[in-house]
Structure 1
Amino acid sequence: MTGRQGVVLYGPPAAGKDTVTMALAELSPRYAQFARLKVGAGKSAGYRMGTAEQLRELEAAGGVVYANSRYGNTYVIDAPGLDDAFAAGVPVVHLGQVDGIQALVDGYPADWSLVLLWCPRGVTAERSAGRGDSDTAARLAAWEATREDLDAHPSMVWDLTVDTTASAPEDAARLIDQLLAQRAGAATA
């Protein structure tokens, strides 16, 4: 292993990825959400906005670890961005596709802790409406796609699974922090 630790939070829309990441950052400043490169329009908070030309240049240089399209945009996990994130601490990468997790784990060497955050479809609908999303129907379709993705990858092994309807974000953050401490201890033993 590289000695670098990273966290992957996987789950459907509104499962709590942002909220748990904020709780991790409050627990320790070493945790920070990885800001994916976003090519498109809409929400820019939490992203590094880019252009189609920048994406082509990254692809040509072999710098794209994983890219996916959703909500009419392209979201990119890039090696230069990950380099910067690891230099700053422990990146927390949000993903909604198992293929993305595999691409990240296989394409960027680090000790990745894989965390499944889950909530029922109805909770996604309530949370999405409650936060004022204008595309709740698309988020529910993404919830369905996430469920199908999990069903299609029954051998996927999670280091930690958290039901975000039963665990407070602070509790989930503590569990993740403990997981990383245990893994770091095991790596040095």
Structure 2
Amino acid sequence: MKAGQGVILYGPPAAGKDTVTTALTELRPQCRQFARLKVGSGKSLGYRMGTAEQLRKLEAAGEVVYANSRYGNVYVIDAPGLDAAFMAGVPVVHLGQVDGIRALLDGYPADWAVVLLWCPREATAERSAGRGDSDTTARLAAWDATQKDLDAHPGMVWDLTVDTAASSPEEAARLIDQLLVQPGAATT
């Protein structure tokens, strides 16, 4: 059975995934950022903090849709978490890997709008420093990895592409909202 509508936001660090999600939530209150399960330490806001044992149980039950490691942590998109998110509204999933998008599209049937949020590397550096990140160097390495990821998947199809250095978060949210109202109606 297919779940309802969901949004996948893909892009490098500091491309505006959080900011655009906030603007989208203001425009369409049923949209909510999906809180991935995070196994590790550091920032907990926006995550469901979990343990290695919880991750093992999800893996054993076949309920991990996608997991990746970055910044010394494991970030998990799990089927029970997605089930709850779809029951609550329109989940907005943040990803930084094309493999994660494919895993989500193939592993959790829903009406997904797939959006590429992009910004130049310099914008990531400025935004990361401006928000006080202590790991800007790691975020720039992740930006580089995102560029390589895109280069390695030239056939990836996006429902919408937004340059967040040239578009406001509100404009990006409006375009995403158009996708939710009429799939295929948004322009890049």
Q: Distance in 2 between matches of 1:5 and 1:163?
A: 23
1:72-95 alpha-carbon deviations (Å, 9 max, x no partner): 000000000000000011000000
Q: Measure, in 2, the Cα distance between the counterparts of 1:6 and 1:109.
A: 10
Please give the alpha-carbon distance, in whole angstroms, between the structure 2 residues aligned to 1:87 and 1:3. Answer: 9
Provide structure 2 residue ranges, at least 5 long, that are not aligned to the other structure: none
1:10-64 C-alpha deviation (Å, 9 max, x unpaired): 0000000000000011111100000000000000000000000000000001110
Correspondence for 1:17: 17
Distance, in Å, in 2 between the alignment partners of 1:177 and 1:29 is: 11
Identity %: 81
Counterpart of 1:162, as a letter, is: V
Paired position in structure 1 for 2:176: 176
Instruction: Quote the offset at 1:2 in angstroms.
Output: 2.6
Q: Distance in 2 between matches of 1:125 and 1:6?
A: 29
TM-score by length of 1: 0.96
Tell me which amino acid in the other structure corresponds to 2:34. F
Cα distance in 2 for residues equivalent to 1:183 and 1:121:
30
Q: State the AA in 1 paired with 2:78.
A: D
Aligned to 1:56, what secondary structure does the other structure show?
helix
1:96 and 2:96 matched: yes
Separation in 2 of the partners of 1:88 and 1:112?
A: 16
The amino acid that maps onto 1:105 is: L
Mapping for residues 6-85 of structure 1, pairs under 5 Å? 6-85=6-85
* Moved >2 Å (runs of 4+): none
- How large is the RMSD of aligned CA atoms in angstroms? 1.3
In structure 2, what is the equivalent of residue 126 of structure 1? 126
Counterpart AA for 1:16: G
Give the number of equivalent residue pairs.
185
**What TM-score does the superposition give when structure 2 sets the normalisation length?**
0.96
